[in-house]
Amino acid sequence: MTIFLIGFMGSGKSTLGRRLAALTGCSFIDMDKFIEEKYFKTVAQIFAEEGEASFREKERLAIEELAGFQDVVIGTGGGAPCFGDNMNQMNQSGITVWLDVPVKALVARLSRAKAERPLIKEKNTEELTLFVEEKLNERNVFYSQAKVRVTGGNIQAEDITTILEASGS
């Protein structure tokens, strides 16, 4: 089984991914960490030194590689589903699960973790809310292509396993 967790930054892909992997007996892979280890650079360094286009290509190659793994839960980057054929690749290779968290909950979570997120570290609450709303409007067309959608401000890994079992996945 290959499960790709998708959703906006702060939606819980890494935290829930680790718990979901433990519940399902799978390994967890954080895609950003996978890319960092492969290229010996942080995501921020890749963006700064090579630009977004280079990072998105590395992300596409990572999805291609990870799609061949078995018994894994993969926490993707928030933008990963929105570029190239990534969403189609993930849907063909495994089960895509969209963690659809309300804007208010995302803003609260991201406000506590701004320091390690270059895209938002300088934003106040109002700017952050507008940023999240704008990005979600752009990305939801991609996120909505997921095979499974889990909605709420307090999603638990057990909720995801229940939905996956009910859907026969």
What sign results for the dihedral spanned by CA atoms 160, 111, 59, 29?
A: negative
Q: What is the pLDDT of residue 123?
A: 83
Range 2-160 classified under CATH 3.40.50.300? yes
Distance CA 40, CA 7 (A): 25
Are 124 and 50 within 8 A, CB to CB?
A: no
- 34-71 per-position pLDDT tens digit: 999 999 998 888 988 998 899 999 999 999 999 999 99
For the chain, domain boundaries: 2-160
Q: What is the pLDDT of residue 166?
A: 76
Residues in the chain with pLDDT values less than 50: none
Q: What is the pLDDT of residue 157?
A: 83
Q: What is the pLDDT of residue 160?
A: 87
